[in-house]
Chains A and B, each alone.
Chain A
Amino acid sequence: QLQLLESGPGLVKPSETLSLTCTVSGVSISSSAYYWGWIRQPPGKGLEWIGSISYGGSTYYNPSLKSRVTISVDTSKNQFSLNLSSVTAADTAVYYCARHRVQMVYGTPGYFDYWGQGTLVTVSS
């Protein structure tokens, strides 16, 4: 069965780079039927999409975060990763990885059908 598991440091210092990895098990990440995305949720607040990537490396990023975000994929490890640079306290959140189902009509990402459990990342010195 499909599982997604986020991993990475739970504490990052201001101005540094937040790095997380999502390990996918139960299905190959190399499918044209899916993109793979990152979403975050500050404590007590709503959901914010960060960005998504295909197995071939095509990316879509949230325009409000684009200048600081890099998402990459490693098909050999069935993983994809998030780097968010120059973090501040405002980047403190639970970070989720999720499978982003492709809209077959357009071949572009649609809705998120499977999610990881999430990992809390705190930005603090």
Chain B
Amino acid sequence: GENVEQHPSTLSVQEGDSAVIKCTYSDSASNYFPWYKQELGKRPQLIIDIRSNVGEKKDQRIAVTLNKTAKHFSLHITETQPEDSAVYFCANFGGSNYKLTFGKGTLLTVNP
């Protein structure tokens, strides 16, 4: 995948609210779209992913949607908790080489 744009760069919500982070990509050959959560000083951790033949995937409070026609995918977190505070990176993979391309990240702050 090449060129992933991620918005917003920062997001502040109240505990219990929902948070949505959006990414767009340019490589139509991309076939895998993971989301990573990175807490300060720690490794990126995969929290959810979606493959190109699926439009939506949900895992408890986290969901990801993919629109291949529009080339965008989104992360939805419901009932946010303070421990959801972290930097979230979208990424895409595929195309002509084995490269995972990251968005610039979103700093999510959940206020108690």
A binds B: no
